[in-house]
A and B are shown apart, each in its own frame.
Chain A
Amino acid sequence: MSEIVLQIDGKEVKAQEGMTIVEAAKTVGIEIPTLCHHEKLEPYGACRICTVEAESNGRKTLVAGCLYPVESGMVVQTKTEKLHSIRKVLVEQMLAHAPDAPQLVELAKEYGADKDRFDKDPSFCILCGLCVRYCAEVKQKHAIGYMDRGPRREISFIPDVAAKECWDCKECFPLCPTSALQAAYVLTEALLPEQPEEEADCSCSSGCCGG
């Protein structure tokens, strides 16, 4: 690994090749906010709160600091007005789902985010994927995954696996930036025996239940 030199917020930084911008910034005491990032896990890039401005070869782009590799001669800005207002919007959008999540409340203070800017839609999950990735990458159990896509995307325990693995593990719970209870709830729901509810309730005469 060779050493390269770049600039972050005006400071000269010596970094190892292969480091991410977030890691390099940390070595000189510059904190870039992160939510979906975890040292033990593969970079993922979902929350985008770590977005920074990077200029290399005369081109200025916005990149995710948690996964963008440092380049020699790169000039990085982590605190511009534009970044401030991007992070503010992202925090506001996430607050709509998890209005009381401590990390979000903290970020809201820093960026002047208004937790009421968007209608509340409390799902308590911001789909950071920490639980999903931890289970897959560290525990290698794949007991939790995503369902559906776009605005309907949600996390879900795979009942068969969860029943065997999760009760005694629960290591993913404390990773959750919004609410450990959310994971517990989803887990419980997954483990509940399937209710033959529809069959019992159906009283139609069309024979839809085979009756």
Chain B
Amino acid sequence: MPRINSPAELEEFRRAILSKRDDKRPCITLCSGSACHATGSEKVADAIMAELESHGLKDQVDVRRTGCHGFCEQGPILVVYPEGISYLKVKPEDVCEIVSHTFKEKKLVERLLYVDPNTGDKSSHEHDIPFYKNQQRLILGLNTKIDPKSLEDYLAVGGYQAMAKALLQMTPEQVIGEVKQAKLRGRGGAGFPSGTKWEFARNAPGDQKYVVVNCDEGDPGAYMDRALMEGNPFTVLEGLLIGAYAIGASEGYIYVRQEYPLAVDNLTVAIREAEEHGFLGKNILGSGFDFTVKVHRGAGAFICGEETSLLQSLEGKPGEPKPRPPFPAVRGLWGKPTNINNVETWANIPVIINKGAEYFSSIGTESSKGTKVFSLVGKVNNTGLVEVPMGMPLRDIIFKIGGGVPNGKKFKAVQTGGPSGGCIPEEYLDVKVDFDELMKMGAMMGSGGMIVMDEDTCLVDIARYFLEFLSDESCGKCVPCREGIRQMLKVMTAITQGKGKEGDIELLENMAMATQGAALCALGKTAPNPVLSTLKYFRHEYEAHIKEKRCPALSCKELIAFHIEPAKCKGCGSCLRKCPANAIEGGKKTIHVIDQEKCTKCGTCIEACPAAFQAISKLSGVPVPEPPAPSARALA
């Protein structure tokens, strides 16, 4: 590979790549991101190769394996170009038909198209699918167009243009100015203005400075950083290069959690290619700027995502937070000025440099600019990665893009911001999602987790669950976090078990105040959020648990009972056959009865009882009615 020594050479190289490419040439794009990989995209790829070979089409059709498209739930995803036909849940057996129908006869394979569960409408192209239609994929969009192992692919879509522009046409101050003007806020959680942070690091005294990519992503259920790092490592690297130039750093580190081997693989290839082409190393593009990058694999503790812990961990020490000040911008890695940003933050940089601050800041709200990638999961029809302009109402994200709550259930709340985020109830669904609005709601942006919950979810139990996670993940260094979460968890557990006492809510609030106020790092300071936000909007559920020993969502096991309504039971025996605990008594043409002593509350019987009868119900806070006497159980 030739070393590229100037922006002119870069453009020449790009032209050479483009001249070999033909937009009209047939191409199969197959998502090979982690989720699609898990649902079998590897086997589909093998089938494609074999099928093309057997039809003698191997030299006429390109095959491109890409990173995550976002609609992981429907994977493996296969797109046929130049038409852009999108096939979902593709299995190896389907490939034969795709090749013969779509390639040879130009016909659609109907059964592989997306069907809207609400309307029954079919969509043949990605941009027609409601899930994608309402998104604005500024950052994730390139994922579907490039093979994450191919630098040529990245250059073909304009890669490294931003870097060339920054290094050769802009001063570091101008780059920082552009990022400040774009009003980019960090995507790692707190939403701190990135340009200002860069400026601190630039102005900090010292010759040796560092830049770091935070790809620790510890939030359960969130995987946007992973999708970006796996699907488009080039953009993250390009953003980092530009930041390093602006800050005056000559070395960078990419901290990737251990569980992301594919991200590390793709990143390693991207770095090697960049080195070979002279995009890393000495005198990049003849600009006089030198920069090298190392990948560091993190052991994968949640607290290691916190920036001071991450730096400790990079230095080979235990990942425990350090008090700030001094801030990493002044005294970071090995005591040198260090700027650390989240993966998505870095990925926004090339967009800002290419398209300008004005374009970038035209997207979003007054206080939050650009787009944000969310990981939309839980009780929602379309789960996956969603990228929308800041300021989109929660309702649109959940109902227009997410397709609403499945199985006709009622929406109850959405939890945003990861384990230390908060729950937002239905009446605030029109809130426009940005950093400050979410904060005002007692929730937060966090890294962008979004968990939808339906009427069957107990919010007290959800808060308990997040506290449990945080208690396990606390480093244990400071008292308010270690002891505060532990004690709050004890109280919450008691409440969900029906052992709540008068005064528990006040006790929780008191402990939350102390932990929030006194903890050393943001893990502890935000740990009370799940409790406080559910107390704010769902206090009546706490009260029901404590005072009436009742779980309104009929979810907390210790507080519910299963009951067969004698008038509805048809004696079919379905429940009896399925009950794993042998807790059901019955017989032919006999009303069935649940032995409450034996019942483990697994819920199998409710599912087993035919929909036409619906004879089994859950009860909470009321005594279970006495079953009819054995003599009265016979059915006509």
B and A form one assembly:
yes
Binding site for B on A (CB under 8 A): 43, 45-49, 51, 62, 64, 67-69, 82, 85-86, 89-90, 93-94, 96, 118-119, 126-127, 129, 146, 148-153
Q: Are A90 and B514 interface neighbours, CB within 8 A?
A: yes
Collect the chain A residues with CB atoms within 8 Å of residue B325's CB. 68-69
Collect the chain B residues with CB atoms within 8 Å of residue A86's CB. 480, 513-514, 517-518
- Can you give 14 A-B contacts (C-beta < 8 A)? A45-B520, A48-B478, A62-B517, A64-B518, A69-B325, A82-B513, A85-B513, A89-B480, A93-B487, A96-B483, A127-B477, A127-B479, A149-B303, A149-B473
Collect the chain B residues with CB atoms within 8 Å of residue A43's CB. 323
Residue of B nearest to A126 (CB): B479
Collect the chain B residues with CB atoms within 8 Å of residue A126's CB. 479
Q: How far is the CB of B37 from chain A (nearest CB, A)?
A: 32
Residue among B303, B490, B520 making CB contact with A64, cutoff 8 Å: B520
CA of A159 to CA of B270, assembled, Å: 46
Given A85-B510, A149-B474, A152-B476, CB of A51 within 8 Å of CB of B517: yes
Q: Are B480 and A90 interface neighbours, CB within 8 A?
A: yes
Binding site for A on B (CB under 8 A): 301, 303, 318, 323, 325, 471-480, 482-487, 490, 510-511, 513-514, 517-520
Given A48-B519, A90-B518, CB of A150 within 8 Å of CB of B478: no
Contacts A48-B480, A85-B513, A149-B301 given; 13 further ones with Cβ under 8 A? A45-B520, A46-B479, A51-B517, A51-B518, A69-B325, A86-B518, A89-B513, A90-B479, A149-B474, A150-B471, A150-B472, A150-B485, A151-B483
Collect the chain B residues with CB atoms within 8 Å of residue A118's CB. 487
Q: Are B479 and A47 interface neighbours, CB within 8 A?
A: yes
CA of A47 to CA of B483, assembled, Å: 10
Q: How far is the CB of B298 from chain A (nearest CB, A)?
A: 15
Q: How far is the CB of A110 from chain B (nearest CB, A)?
A: 16
Collect the chain B residues with CB atoms within 8 Å of residue A62's CB. 517-518
Q: Are B471 and A151 interface neighbours, CB within 8 A?
A: yes
Q: How far is the CB of A162 from chain B (nearest CB, A)?
A: 20
Q: Are A149 and B475 interface neighbours, CB within 8 A?
A: yes
Given A93-B483, A119-B490, CB of A48 within 8 Å of CB of B475: no
CA of A153 to CA of B484, assembled, Å: 14
Q: How far is the CB of A18 from chain B (nearest CB, A)?
A: 11
Given A93-B484, A93-B487, CB of A48 within 8 Å of CB of B474: no
Q: How far is the CB of A46 from chain B (nearest CB, A)?
A: 5
CA of A151 to CA of B475, assembled, Å: 8
Instruction: Give the interface SS of chain B, mostly helix, strand, loop or mixed.
Output: helix
Collect the chain A residues with CB atoms within 8 Å of residue B511's CB. 89
Collect the chain B residues with CB atoms within 8 Å of residue A153's CB. 475-477, 482
Residue of B nearest to A153 (CB): B476
Collect the chain B residues with CB atoms within 8 Å of residue A67's CB. 323
Q: How far is the CB of B339 from chain A (nearest CB, A)?
A: 22
Collect the chain A residues with CB atoms within 8 Å of residue B478's CB. 45-48
Q: Are A89 and B476 interface neighbours, CB within 8 A?
A: no
Q: Which 10 A-B pairs have the closest CB atoms?
A: A153-B476, A93-B483, A89-B514, A48-B518, A150-B474, A151-B486, A51-B518, A86-B514, A149-B476, A62-B517
Q: How far is the CB of B517 from chain A (nearest CB, A)?
A: 5
Q: Are A93 and B471 interface neighbours, CB within 8 A?
A: no
Q: How far is the CB of B323 from chain A (nearest CB, A)?
A: 5
Collect the chain A residues with CB atoms within 8 Å of residue B519's CB. 48
Collect the chain B residues with CB atoms within 8 Å of residue A51's CB. 517-518
CA of A119 to CA of B489, assembled, Å: 13
CA of A150 to CA of B476, assembled, Å: 4
Residue of A nearest to B521 (CB): A45
Q: Are B482 and A127 interface neighbours, CB within 8 A?
A: yes
Q: How far is the CB of B370 from chain A (nearest CB, A)?
A: 26
Residue among A68, A85, A119, A129 making CB contact with B514, cutoff 8 Å: A85
Residue of B nearest to A93 (CB): B483
Q: How far is the CB of A156 from chain B (nearest CB, A)?
A: 13
Collect the chain B residues with CB atoms within 8 Å of residue A152's CB. 476
Q: Are B323 and A151 interface neighbours, CB within 8 A?
A: no
Q: Are B477 and A46 interface neighbours, CB within 8 A?
A: yes
Collect the chain B residues with CB atoms within 8 Å of residue A64's CB. 323, 518, 520
CA of A85 to CA of B509, assembled, Å: 12
CA of A153 to CA of B483, assembled, Å: 11
Q: How far is the CB of B508 from chain A (nearest CB, A)?
A: 11
Q: How far is the CB of B32 from chain A (nearest CB, A)?
A: 36
Q: How far is the CB of B589 from chain A (nearest CB, A)?
A: 49
Collect the chain A residues with CB atoms within 8 Å of residue B318's CB. 146
Residue among A47, A48, A69, A151 making CB contact with B476, cutoff 8 Å: A151
Collect the chain B residues with CB atoms within 8 Å of residue A69's CB. 325
Collect the chain A residues with CB atoms within 8 Å of residue B471's CB. 150-151
Collect the chain A residues with CB atoms within 8 Å of residue B479's CB. 46-49, 90, 93-94, 126-127
Q: Are B520 and A150 interface neighbours, CB within 8 A?
A: no
CA of A85 to CA of B510, assembled, Å: 8
Given A94-B483, A119-B490, A127-B476, CB of A45 within 8 Å of CB of B514: no
Q: Are B510 and A89 interface neighbours, CB within 8 A?
A: yes
